[in-house]
A and B are shown apart, each in its own frame.
Chain A
Amino acid sequence: MPPVPARGAQVLSVEGVHVWLSGREVLHDVGFEVRAGEFTGLIGPNGAGKTTLLRVILGLEPPAQGRVIVGGGPGATSEGAGPGRTAERVGYVPQKVVVDPDLPLRARDLVSLGLDGHRLGIPLRNRGRRQKVDAMLEAVDAGRLADARIGTLSGGELQRVLIAHALVSDPALLLLDEPLANLDLRSEHEVVALLARLTGERGVAVLLSAHDMNPLLPVMDRIVYLAAGRAASGGTDEVVREEVLSELYGHQVDVLHVRDRILVVAGPHGPREADQAAGLPEPPGRTRSRGV
């Protein structure tokens, strides 16, 4: 069991990462740090490169340039990716996990696979492992779901079980790719509150990607804003500002504070065509008003 890093210790460092996918530069000179016990939001419109960045951190996508350091040792570098080496230290909840209701896997089986799913052979019964799995399910308020087939869980319940799967090996860093997409408002609130509690209790660092920052505003310690493959990071007040985001997007954007919500919309001069390809800031909320 790796010791839980002290709060504030650096658990992830992304340095000057460039990624090219099918002839297009998806990430350009992206750099930021994530610290233990902190909640970091990876915010940006669809197509900004959020998933690619998470895959680079996991070592599934080698960067063309730059490097990623997870915990004390190197994860992915431009010399080569190594998912096996980072697996023990990074928990991952992928986006859009859809499970067939007929899949013969209970919530406890999926959490158990978080401990040893990469191992070969059939596991022997082990009381220690069973207790660890049960405790983990309790920690994400999913104890009563332990024996349910994962395909029968609701969206919010499945997210909690996936979080348990990712955390059961006690990683220093937890990556979540758009875990709030397709959740109703109540489940969204529950998942965010749960993650905030886990960062405090377990000292794990959370890096969560979302296209809407508003549900995360009360709990986010830091923000990494990604637009058109470029990133700005820091406190929310430092990053979510017109001059910073306009620079990232490459065109004028307005940052509007409406009560306790923040809306990022394209400004009066509009995006140039090239930027449209890279993705407009997604209007937050459910309305589909594209600022002009």
Chain B
Amino acid sequence: MHVLFEPGFFTDGPVRLALVLGGAVAVVSGLVGVLTVVRGQSFAGHALADIGAAGGSGAFLLGVNPLWGFVVLGLAAAGSMELMGLQRARSRDVATGIVLGAALGLAALFLYLDASYTSTTGVTTTVLFGSIFAVSGSIVPVAAAFAGVAALAVVVLFRPLLLASVNPELAAARGVGVRMVGLAYLLAMAVAVSLSCLTIGAILSTALLIGPAGAALRLTRRPGRAMAVSAALGVAAVWLGILLSYDSYYWPPAGRGWPVSFFVVALVFLFYLASSLRSPRHGHRRGAR
């Protein structure tokens, strides 16, 4: 038998990098995700994640770090969604779906070209399911900068975003530029999702955006506290996921190791299930206390 903490765990370079980068990404996704859920923009979040597939595969084609592809295409997609109409819930979903469809078409083309004309193997897996142990050290400062900007945007716009999520008219009457605030938020969400794409993959990054936030919103009634809980749950899922993945080299089939993304997403799912058992809404509490 071996213990979970292999002696090499904390001294291994890629593992340390993964812990730092994964932790930072989980914090940003957790903060941004609470407002995604509160504003009812989960579909847009998921779309931006899938759109990352086109960005990442395009970046491989150009030979640049996939993060640039995720971010550039994510911001472009967020901007297009806003231009095409995010004002009403219905046209918002239609605009999101149309941009998503177009981006997935690009992803199909880029992934095909990647596979046909470049010698890089496993591009599809890397883009779709992440590669946190293979992130190049040179991109970490860039990722950290993006993480900082997205987190800052959400913190700065916290109150106007909350007020607009209750009712846009209420916010507008208080002098909030509802549309500009909404666009800024969508761009921050695109950046957060891009960072998740880099670590756990384009397909799975929604899980890190929505899951911890959804669980946190069931555990607390206060918006600020929900953001803290959400970030903490995200970090727990990512760090535990990395630990389990590292350990899984000893699991069958021996010597292969299971992907981090699987563990992270499974843990997020478990957190959400556990949180539903203890929801503040149980008992139809009204007014009292």
**Contact residues of A with B, CB < 8 Å?**
58, 60, 83-85, 87, 90, 92, 94, 97, 99-106, 109-110, 113-114, 116-123, 144-145, 147-150, 152-153, 157, 162, 165
Q: In the complex, what residue of chain A is closest to B224 when comparing beta carbons?
A: A122
B80 at the interface (CB under 8 A from A): no
CB pair A83–B287 under 8 Å, yes or no, is no
CB pair A103–B38 under 8 Å, yes or no, is yes
CB pair B166–A110 under 8 Å, yes or no, is yes
Report the stretch among B97-105, B154-162, B259-267 that lies at the interface. B154-162
Q: Which of the four size classes fits the interface of chain B?
A: 35 or more
Q: What A residues does B157 contact at CB under 8 A?
A: 120
B275 at the interface (CB under 8 A from A): no
Q: What B residues does A116 contact at CB under 8 A?
A: 159
CB pair A117–B174 under 8 Å, yes or no, is yes
Contact code string B260-289 (vs A, CB < 8 Å = 1, else 0): 000000000000000000001100111111
CB pair B166–A121 under 8 Å, yes or no, is no
| Contact of A58 with B173 at beta-carbon distance under 8 Å, contacts A97-B167, A100-B40, A144-B287 already known | yes
B134 at the interface (CB under 8 A from A): no
| Contact of A148 with B223 at beta-carbon distance under 8 Å, contacts A104-B38, A121-B155 already known | no
CB pair A60–B172 under 8 Å, yes or no, is yes
Q: In the complex, what residue of chain A is closest to B38 when comparing beta carbons?
A: A103
- Complex Cα distance, B288 from A83, in Å, reads 36
B221 at the interface (CB under 8 A from A): yes
Q: What A residues does B165 contact at CB under 8 A?
A: 103
- Complex Cα distance, B166 from A84, in Å, reads 19
Q: What A residues does B160 contact at CB under 8 A?
A: 117-120
Q: In the complex, what residue of chain A is closest to B158 when comparing beta carbons?
A: A122
Q: In the complex, what residue of chain A is closest to B280 when comparing beta carbons?
A: A149
CB pair A101–B174 under 8 Å, yes or no, is no
Name the contact of A92 in the complex, choosing from B162, B173, B217 (C-beta under 8 A): B173
Residues in B207-236 with C-beta less than 8 Å from chain A: 217, 220-224, 226
Q: What A residues does B175 contact at CB under 8 A?
A: 83-85, 87, 118
Q: What A residues does B226 contact at CB under 8 A?
A: 104
B171 at the interface (CB under 8 A from A): yes
Q: In the complex, what residue of chain A is closest to B176 when comparing beta carbons?
A: A118
Q: What A residues does B281 contact at CB under 8 A?
A: 101-102, 149, 152
CB pair B170–A165 under 8 Å, yes or no, is yes
Q: What A residues does B223 contact at CB under 8 A?
A: 104-105, 109
Q: What A residues does B176 contact at CB under 8 A?
A: 117-118
CB pair B166–A152 under 8 Å, yes or no, is no
